[in-house]
Copies of this chain bind each other. A is one copy, B any other.
Amino acid sequence: MVVCASNGQFHSYVNPEQIDELIDQADTILWLDLQNPQDEEIDLLREEFNFHPLAIEDATRHHERPKLDAYENYYFMVFYAIGYDTARRRLSGQPIGLFIGANYIVSVHQGEITTIDETIKRWQANAAEFGQDVGTLLYTLLDALVDDYFPVIDQLAERVEDIEEQIFERYNENALQDVFGLKRDLLQVRRVVAPERDVLNVLIRREVPIFERNSILYLQDVYDHIVRITDSIDTYRDLLSSALDAFLSVQSNRLNQIVKVLTIASIVLMTDALVAGIYGMNFDVMPELHWRFGYPLILMMTAALVLVLYRNFRKNRWL
């Protein structure tokens, strides 16, 4: 639990029981960050802030969709931090529950989210710049969260390119599983990013008076980033489905090659075997058998046959 209040100066630690007094002081801005909240911290939300039970439930439950709910004196927002574990090639999405009041922000989440810590530090370092405005503080957080999406998208883009290379340059049968895994990740990111775009749209249209007029411009910027990300995701999904089709086609092509080899080898070997079979027959009268150079002649004939067939296949562009 990090409680952090500013009224000109900063108090990095605040006694929880003073919270209700602090939020009554209009010149104080309070940020309460609850990581892996315990029951007594949840009680704090209920007793000191008087938050609605539904909002508290949403904040502590996992897998909530990004959204913005209006309550009487505050807003409740769900936003996601997205990370990408390059080693394990796994996406992770951490929901953050945000209560936004006139002069406070309460953030609730499971596990550490460095972006929140950094935003708080940035605020402490530049208190003057942030002023007395919760909107600026929130924008800084959202902007930082969304900026963290770009490296994730870049990782996904790299995987798309890797898959293309696996399909077209060095054929790898596991490309298929990569395609499927990547599609799953793209769907997962999309499920987070698309409703976040809607949340930001609501904020921009000023349907919710958290932000002052002149900070809408900054929010528009975050919105533009989210739109760019959803654009990218849709493009990658489109490319992936083409990649899958291409993979099927490359597979089919390889089959053609293998069957071609089988066909050519069968024809050549069977023809030669037929010649050998003919001279293995036991007819009384087979003049060739008694020729002096019958055997080498026949061997040369079979070799010649191989050449003729080879040329023929070459001419028909089978080889």
Note all chain B residues with C-beta closer than 8 A to A221: 54, 58
Q: Is A129 an interface residue (CB 8 A)?
A: no
Closest to A63 in B: B228
Supply 7 A–B pairs (Cβ within 8 Å), ascending by A.
A176-B253, A258-B260, A261-B263, A267-B269, A270-B270, A280-B282, A283-B291
B246–A245 CB distance below 8 A: no
Note all chain B residues with C-beta closer than 8 A to A191: 231, 235
Residues A260-319 near B (CB distance < 8 A): 260-263, 265-267, 269-274, 276-286, 288-295, 298-299, 318
Please judge, given known A-B contacts A266-B265, A278-B276, A280-B282, whether A249 and B246 are in contact too, CB under 8 Å.
no
Chain A binding surface, main DSSP class: helix
Closest to A183 in B: B242
B247–A258 CB distance below 8 A: no
The oligomer's copy count stands at: 5
* A281 and B242 alpha carbons, distance in the complex (Å): 56
Note all chain B residues with C-beta closer than 8 A to A260: 258
Nearest Cβ on chain B to A163's Cβ, whole angstroms = 11
Please judge, given known A-B contacts A187-B235, A227-B65, whether A278 and B251 are in contact too, CB under 8 Å.
no
Most buried by B among A69, A227, A248: A248
A249–B249 CB distance below 8 A: no
* A235 and B194 alpha carbons, distance in the complex (Å): 13
Note all chain B residues with C-beta closer than 8 A to A63: 228
